[in-house]
Amino acid sequence: MNTKDFIQLEEQYGAHNYYPLDVVIERAEGVWVYDVDGKRYLDCLSAYSAVNQGHVHPKILAALTEQAQKVTLTSRAFRNDQLPLLYKELSELTGYEMSLPMNSGAEAVETAIKLARKWAYRVKGVPRYEAEMIVAAGNFHGRTVSIISFTTEPLYRDDFGPFTPGFRIVKYGDAKAIEEAITPNTAAVMLEPIQGEAGVIVPPEGYLKRVASICRENNVLFIADEIQTGLGRTGKLFASHHEGVRPDMVIVGKALSGGFYPVSAVLADRSTLGLFTPGEHGSTFGGNPLAAAVARAALKVLVDEDLAGNAEQLGAYFMEQLSEIPSPHVKEVRGKGLLIGVELKPEARGARRFCEALQARGILAKETHEHVIRFAPPLVIDKETIDWALPRIRETLFMA
Ligand SMILES: *Cc1c(COP(=O)(O)O)cnc(C)c1O
């Protein structure tokens, strides 16, 4: 079977809810992926930042295979010997007293929403079922019905109502808009520190700090969705740390497993996460021993290899080099650490064709929205590899 055969099968038997590049990946290692024809590509997407540690990291692989031979799933009806250690290590690494493990990012976001509502009723004293959450235009928090109820992207939403009430949408990057939207019933403000899916939108400096203090003054929880920006991607453990902000809740996923397994979590202190009582919330696979063992190894790799430090250093270099390409198509280069967006001018006729041209040159990147190419390679990348990619990117950005 060759590339064409695989694509044909996928198109025939699979739902068409994605528009992938026509590359059929067979194996991967570090920053490189290989297709079924043996061609090598530099991965500049990292599965939307799930493989920050690099593909098939040997230490995470070892943890996975070792644990898979012992016990994989107990359900939370029983305890296992991995989850307590994950709890402890997550707490020591992030400074939050507790965590609650789920699987996908969207499930962790749902968990944070439920927790914020519960906190509003039980602690803040909001009248039952009147709790509101403030979110930002352009947000991406996942695909469940509740979450798409407050997306501003018509494609994610239009055919899927009726929607979950209780959300107010304000402009991203504007702290005053949040202040004005707060009512006595506001439970929480939930934001991405940088909006990845919206096209790597970096808010004005001081925004997160200002929002955090507005929340504090108004007895409102500040929730950071760090599923994409967290765990080293932007050059710090969490992107909120760039402004010295400590959100009341942090949502992590993606790189929490280094790409081996769906693992997500909500991190918070006892004053909020301690509110859940047995039976109120759960997940059959959430916190299973295989997931916990994988997450423990994935976190250890992040720390041991100082991947945040590498992202900070090489991200600055990569972004500077990209900014210096005098391409007629480029409107702006922006980002933080190794989360970089190259926004093209509307006349460039879309980012997709540039991603296809990059693919032909051995680089896999994905357009986000119409006009932005995202460059987010695994954080294990080195300068040599960036220097390999730069002339190829330059060439692509100069095409007609
Ligand atoms: C990917 C992502 C999610 C959703 O995670 P899934 O695992 O796809 O459900 C939520 N928020 C942000 C910021 C993300 O990037």
Tally the domains of the chain.
Answer: 2
Last residue of a domain, one of 256, 276, 304: 304
Describe the strand order of the beta sheet including 249-252 as a list of residue ranges.
98-102, 264-268, 249-252, 221-225, 186-191, 132-136, 167-170
Please count the helices (runs of H) and the strands (runs of E) in the chain.
14, 15
- Asked if residue 273 and residue 177 are part of one domain, the reply reads yes
Both 202 and 285 in a single domain? yes
Same domain, 289 and 321: no
Strands of 25-29's sheet in order across? 25-29, 32-35, 40-43, 363-364
Token readout for 219 is 């007895």
Q: Which one is catalytic: 140, 150, 167, 318?
A: 140
Q: 116 and 25, same structural domain?
A: no
Q: What's the pTM?
A: 0.98
- The range of the structural domain enclosing residue 10 comes to 3-56+306-397
Please report, for the domain that includes residue 51, its CATH number: 3.90.1150.10
Please give the distance, rounded to the nearest whole angstrom, from the Cα atom of residue 251 to the centre of ligand 1. 10
398 is catalytic: no
| 211 in the same domain as 187 | yes
Q: In the listed set 304, 325, 345, which residue is the last one of a domain according to the structure?
A: 304
Q: Ligand 1 within 6 A of 106 CB?
A: yes
41 & 127 share domain: no
Whether 140 is catalytic is yes
Residues 74 and 186 in one domain: yes
- Tens place of pLDDT for every residue, the chain, 400 residues? 999 999 999 999 999 999 999 999 999 999 999 999 999 999 999 999 999 999 999 999 999 999 999 999 999 999 999 999 999 999 999 999 999 999 999 999 999 999 999 999 999 999 999 999 999 999 999 999 999 999 999 999 999 999 999 999 999 999 999 999 999 999 999 999 999 999 999 999 999 999 999 999 999 999 999 999 999 999 999 999 999 999 999 999 999 999 999 999 999 999 999 999 999 999 999 999 999 999 999 999 999 999 999 999 999 999 999 999 999 999 999 999 999 999 999 999 999 999 999 999 999 999 998 999 999 999 999 999 999 999 999 999 999 8
Active site residue 225: yes
DSSP structure string for 8-59: HHHHHHS-------S--EEEEEBTEEEETT--EEEESSHHHHTTTT-BT-HH
* Dihedral (CA of 144, 147, 333, 55) sign: negative
Last residue of a domain, one of 260, 287, 304: 304
Closest CA to 225 of 107, 376, 395: 107
Instruction: Report the nearest-CA residue for atom 5 of ligand 1.
Output: 105
Same domain, 253 and 272: yes
